[in-house]
Amino acid sequence: MIIKEKTELPPSEKFIKVVVDIERKILAYGCELHVDCADELIQDGSSGGDLWGANVYPDTGRIDFVSLINIRPAAGNRTMEIQSEEIKNAVEMVIRDLSVLSE
């Protein structure tokens, strides 16, 4: 499901996989795999280079920046975790702007 405006994420879920388009400032969530959410965003017009995966824990508001789609050696990200603080901040900003989370 693509989110373009403030939405409450399902609080009953332990964690939710999300993919954020840091350029368009939208996200997709609710997919079994991050790549499925990425595909949904690409079909909506996103560019793959702008997409980053994370996991959101609705009950605590915690975000971790780990996903297989984040492994991009050509972009300087050689691990599943987003290495760039700038990209992490951009991903977190979109998630917090579009999601109702506990703090």
| pLDDT, tens digit, 9 for 90 and up, residues 12-39 | 788 999 999 999 999 999 899 999 999 9
Higher pLDDT, 101 or 15: 15
Quick one: CA dihedral 103, 1, 47, 66, positive or negative?
positive
**Residue 59's pLDDT band (cuts 50, 70, 90):** confident
Largest CA distance in the chain: 37
Can you give the length of the chain in residues?
103
Q: What is the pTM of this model?
A: 0.93
**Residue 103's pLDDT band (cuts 50, 70, 90):** low
Count of C-beta atoms within a 10 Å radius of residue 66:
14
pLDDT for 12 equals 74
Over 80: is that where the pLDDT of 6 sits?
A: yes
Residue 81 exposed, middle or buried by CB count within 10 Å (0-12, 13-18, 19+): middle
pLDDT for 80 equals 98
Residue 32 exposed, middle or buried by CB count within 10 Å (0-12, 13-18, 19+): exposed
